Amino acid sequence: MFKKRCNVITLTLGIIVVMSLTACNTSNSVNPEPVEQINTENAQGQDGASGKQTKPETRVVSGEFGDVTIPTHPQRVAGIYVEDYLKALDVTPVVQWYHPSWGKQDYLQLDVPQFDITGSIEALLEQSPDLIILDGGANQAQYEQYSKVAPTYRIKEEVLEDSTEILKSIADALGIPEKAEKVLKDYRQKVEESKAKLQKTVGKEKVAVIRLNVADKSMALFGVKNRYTGVIYKEFGLEPVPMAANMTDYHVIVSEEVIPQLEADHIIVFPANGTWDDAGNQEAYNKLNGPLWKNIPAIKNGKVYKMDRTHWQSGAITANSMKLDDLLRYMVK
């Protein structure tokens, strides 16, 4: 009897020891490292539920006035002076800049609220932009004002002379650099095809670009370095009149003494403000019929082209493409 009882006790103790060892082994098999790895991956942007990599909501870009943190994928963009580039990239801005004296860029045909850049910045705040993009028209003080409304990227000064570089800078800020490459590829192809046509019909004939300044009753000749129209010489292959070719300024006022020296075979003309229907612009244009102009080849041969000021006073990518369309329509036909 005593022996049986001892056997039972021994068996029971054995079972307890086995169970204890099993529990210890089970506990020791839980490796803490996978937990730490998951936390690290989540910190690096992994979605814990789906296991997919997620991109950060913001990123840092370098602008003219330093680094700025902007949304990775902005949804409500205000592009002050740069709406042309936004449209080329298929991005509709939340506002369109407007100046009481200059109007707005009507050629873009944007159906968005106007933002008077001479008025209160609160009007922009009401549109809740999540990113503001500025060009060289904004100084640091203005940049700081815009930055109070939303993250603001001011394009670097070093790229402002080149519309293609401006486009790429804006596309990069928007997180769509591949879109800029597609736009530029199409644009360059159009330029090459159109340039060949212009060379065939116009060749080395001299071209002058003149703006009618109705306010002070003057005329300005635009030079090869002009940000608005220099593209017709540098990219489209047209030949400038000698006065424009040797010009270091963007434009100069044409005095009566030098009018006979223009030597222009073609004259492109547009008003500083308004449209050709305005009485003041019609009166200014009639000066080209005066005696000082009569011996200029473009006047004698009827090769004076009245252009729309809104895109001829812009050096942006859409405007430049429209200038090319105008040249083909008037010079090649």
Helix (H, G, I), strand (E, B), or coil: what is residue 132?
strand
* Contacts with 84 (C-beta within 8 Å, 6 or more apart), sequence order: 105, 108, 314, 316, 317, 318, 319
Whole-angstrom Cα distance, residue 234 to residue 161?
Answer: 12
DSSP label at 97?
E
Instruction: Provide the mean pLDDT of the chain.
Output: 86
User: Which helix (H) or strand (E) segment is 58 a member of?
Assistant: strand 58-63
Which residue in this structure is represented by tokens 């990227």?
A: 153
Tell me, what's the pLDDT at 78?
Answer: 98
Predicted confidence (pLDDT) per residue in 145-179, tens digit: 999 999 999 999 999 989 999 999 999 999 999 99
Tell me, what's the pLDDT at 333?
Answer: 76
pTM: 0.81
Give, in order, the Cα–Cα distances in Å from 198 to each of 112, 187, 233, 236, 245: 36, 16, 11, 8, 19
Average pLDDT over residues 222-240: 96
Question: Is the CB of residue 239 less than 8 Å from the CB of residue 205?
Answer: yes
> Residue 87: is its pLDDT beyond 60?
yes
- What beta strand segments (E) does 155-263 contain? 206-213, 218-222, 239-240, 251-253
Tell me, what's the pLDDT at 56?
Answer: 60
Whole-angstrom Cα distance, residue 116 to residue 248?
Answer: 33
Length reported for the chain: 333
Q: All domains of the chain, ordered by start, with CATH?
A: 58-175 (3.40.50.1980), 191-332 (3.40.50.1980)
Predicted confidence (pLDDT) per residue in 241-251, tens digit: 999 999 999 99
Return the percent helix, strand and coil in the chain, to nearest 5.
45, 20, 40
The percentage of the chain sitting over the pLDDT mark of 90, rounded to a whole number, equals 78
DSSP label at 30?
-
Give, in order, the Cα–Cα distances in Å from 137 to each of 97, 123, 142, 143, 332: 12, 19, 9, 10, 35
Tell me, what's the pLDDT at 55?
Answer: 55
Q: What tokens were used for 33?
A: 């490292």
Whole-angstrom Cα distance, residue 319 to residue 332?
Answer: 19
Predicted confidence (pLDDT) per residue in 24-76, tens digit: 343 333 333 332 232 333 333 444 444 455 556 999 999 999 999 999 999 99
- The one-letter amino acid code at 257 reads E
Give, in order, the Cα–Cα distances in Å from 262 to each of 208, 245, 252, 255: 8, 11, 13, 11
The HSE-up count of residue 263 (CA atoms within 13 Å, CB side) is: 11
DSSP label at 331?
I
Q: What tokens were used for 273?
A: 């403000």
Helix (H, G, I), strand (E, B), or coil: what is residue 256?
coil
> Residue 109: is its pLDDT beyond 50?
yes
> Residue 94: is its pLDDT beyond 50?
yes
> Residue 195: is its pLDDT beyond 70?
yes
> Residue 17: is its pLDDT beyond 70?
no
Whole-angstrom Cα distance, residue 208 to residue 264?
Answer: 6
> Residue 233: is its pLDDT beyond 90?
yes
